Amino acid sequence: MRKEKVFITDPLLSSIPKMAQKRFPKENDQIEWMIANSGEKEELLKVIPCVNIIVVGRQQITRELIQRADKAYFIQQCGMGYDNIDIAAARSRNIVVATAGPAGVISVAEHTILLMLAVAKSLPLAHNSTIKGDWLFPNLLGHVYEVYEKTLGIIGLGQIGTRVAVLAHALGMKIQYYDPYRKSVSDLEFPIKFGSLDELLVTSDFVSIHTILNEETRHMISKDKLRMMKSTAYLINTSRGEIVDEDALADFLEEGRIAGAGLDVFGAHTEGPKRGSKILSLPNVVLTPHLAGSTAEAFFRNYYVHSLENIMRTVRKEAPLYIVRQGE
């Protein structure tokens, strides 16, 4: 019996075969696992022509790679975002692409609230100064802020944006959103207002980004859009760094034209802030290294539940879940 060649492109996902043997021994007997040593492009180009299923973490799966994937019919992205995969190229080769669906929703939503609270209450400054022996109570008195009754503007009311809205409502925030693809909010049991992007930016105390990255949303938050925000407002981004003009954001933060930012994403899909970047030296930011979807619970759901089950469905010749559809 011919075995399915399943190629894991990211060494961080190397434990998936062990979990497959434990949870799906029958299907696992039909698989020949191949795990990248480095995940670098040169290695992927050598291996990818002979594989049937490609399991992706952080790597860029470019048109060049997909055109060499002569035997591939399925790509499993181990995460919700798929901007690292050339979807058009995959479709041109009849390769199905699927994500891990809602695996990281809870984790990312909680992290969003964390960043909002941390930046509004100057948590890094308070913590770092206290452990150094500096008592900044007089300096911070009256200069840290509640989120209660503040207006939260959510850009992208998908699964994560909706979960953020639920948590923010529990904190007593007023919620508004911009999402041209969300037709109804009748499923939500609290007031939530739709507005244009410009209206949201002008009127929100916190702006939180939860849209996917594509050509429509790249640099959606441009210098002109940042100019619309209140000087007392905070920008939160746990989606993708390239949705925001990061250089313009750093300038606005440095000049005090917006109050602060909480950022978990920077630049391209797997990048951190550039060394020497202005954003790293600003006192009014809270920065985390793409941790929003990386809790132990989300990790398990992502790799060992949603992604692994999709791989096994495909091996059984069943349709995978969370397929990236045309136009998404």
The mean per-residue pLDDT over the stretch 82-102 comes to 96
From its phi and psi, is residue 119 left (phi > 0), alpha (psi between -120 and 50) or beta?
alpha
41 three-class SS: helix
> Per-residue pLDDT tens for 128-187?
999 999 999 999 999 999 999 999 999 999 999 999 999 999 999 999 999 999 989 999
Q: Indicate the helix (H) or strand (E) that contains 98.
A: strand 96-98
Task: Tell me if domain 4-103+296-315 and domain 105-287 are identical in fold.
Answer: yes
Determine the CATH number of domain 105-287.
3.40.50.720
Q: Helix H segments across the chain?
A: 16-23, 25-28, 41-47, 63-68, 87-92, 105-120, 123-131, 137-140, 159-170, 197-203, 223-228, 246-254, 296-299, 308-315
Mean pLDDT of the chain: 95
Rounded-to-5 percentages of helix, strand, coil across the chain: 40, 15, 45
Pick from 218, 205, 272: which is nearest to 58 by CA?
A: 272
pLDDT at 1: 72
When pLDDT is cut at 50, 70 and 90, the band that residue 35 belongs to is very high
Residue 151 β-bridge partners: 174
Please count the other Cβ atoms lying within 10 Å of the Cβ belonging to residue 38. Answer: 11
Q: Where are the domains of the chain?
A: 4-103+296-315, 105-287
- Answer whether residue 11 shows pLDDT above 80: yes
pLDDT at 326: 67
Q: Indicate the helix (H) or strand (E) that contains 56.
A: strand 53-56
> Per-residue pLDDT tens for 48-91?
999 999 999 989 999 999 999 999 999 999 998 899 999 999 99
Question: Can you tell me the distance from the alpha carbon of 44 to that of 299, in angstroms, rounded to the nearest whole number?
Answer: 24
Give first-to-last CA distance, the chain, whole Å. 37
Write out the two tokens for 307: 């992604």
pLDDT at 268: 79
Cβ atoms of 326 and 91 closer than 8 Å? yes
pLDDT at 269: 67
Question: Can you tell me the distance from the alpha carbon of 227 to that of 274, in angstroms, rounded to the nearest whole number?
Answer: 24
pLDDT at 165: 98
pLDDT at 82: 92
The mean per-residue pLDDT over the stretch 34-55 comes to 96
Pick from 269, 325, 295: which is nearest to 98 by CA?
A: 325
When pLDDT is cut at 50, 70 and 90, the band that residue 219 belongs to is very high
pLDDT at 213: 92
Question: Can you tell me the distance from the alpha carbon of 263 to that of 279, in angstroms, rounded to the nearest whole number?
Answer: 10
CATH topology of domain 4-103+296-315: Rossmann fold (3.40.50)
pLDDT at 85: 95
